[in-house]
Amino acid sequence: MGNLVRVGMADMNICRAPDRIITLGLGSCIGLVLFDIKSSVCGMLHVMLPDSSISKRTENPAKFADTGVEKLIEELRKQGVPQRALMAKMAGGARMFAFQGSGDYLNIGERNAEAVKGILMKKGIPIVASDCGGTYGRTIEFDPETYRLQIRAIGKPEKYI
């Protein structure tokens, strides 16, 4: 078994099997994994906000869905992975605060999930599995050798997608 590559909040990283990649504490954030089954290369992005236009500080592309997904694709291309070979798995996007109504603009988790899905659809990258929504945080770990995304949450059974 290889190393465990960490991805922080508003961060991204790339790894190759036998290494695995992890991000902790996804609440309303989205953890997106883009992977290629031929090369066993993957990248993970920890998105905090749906759109960079809502912020004055945009120097960190990984913070936002619109700029982060594009940057992750670019980094994977640098590793020799063509965009057409990519598949996606994602988790997170929880409603972490009780005052967030179903149509509420403040439901950042739902907005993050919809933003990531929309960008992937435009890019022609299929989402092969997801675990989004709910009212609980998640930690995710991806193994580019098995293509399994492990999801852990306090008080919930561990699962794989």
**Statement: residue 106 has pLDDT above 80:** no
Cis peptide before 144 (omega within 30 of 0): no
Q: How many residues does the chain have?
A: 161
Is the model's pLDDT at 5 over the cut of 50? yes
pLDDT value of residue 51: 94
Using the 8-state DSSP alphabet, how is residue 29 labeled?
A: S
SS3 32: strand
**Contacts of residue 116, Cβ cutoff 8 Å, sequence gap at least 6:** 30, 32, 47, 50, 65, 69, 90
Q: Domain tally for the chain?
A: 1
Which parts of the chain are beta strand (E)?
A: 4-7, 12-16, 20-26, 30-36, 41-47, 87-92, 127-132, 138-143, 148-152, 159-160
Active site residues: 29
The b/e string for 46-75 (b: 16+ C-beta within 10 A; e otherwise) is bbbbbebeeeeeeebbbbbbbbbbebbbeb
Residue whose tokens read 């992890």: 22
Q: Which tens digits make up the pLDDT trace of 110-123?
A: 999 999 999 999 99
Q: What is the pLDDT of residues 6-55, one digit of tens each?
A: 999 999 999 999 999 999 999 999 999 999 999 999 999 999 999 998 87
What does pTM read for this prediction? Answer: 0.94
Rounded CA separation 145/59 (Å): 33
Q: Which domain holds residue 69?
A: 4-160
Q: What is the CATH number of the domain that holds 84?
A: 3.30.1330.200
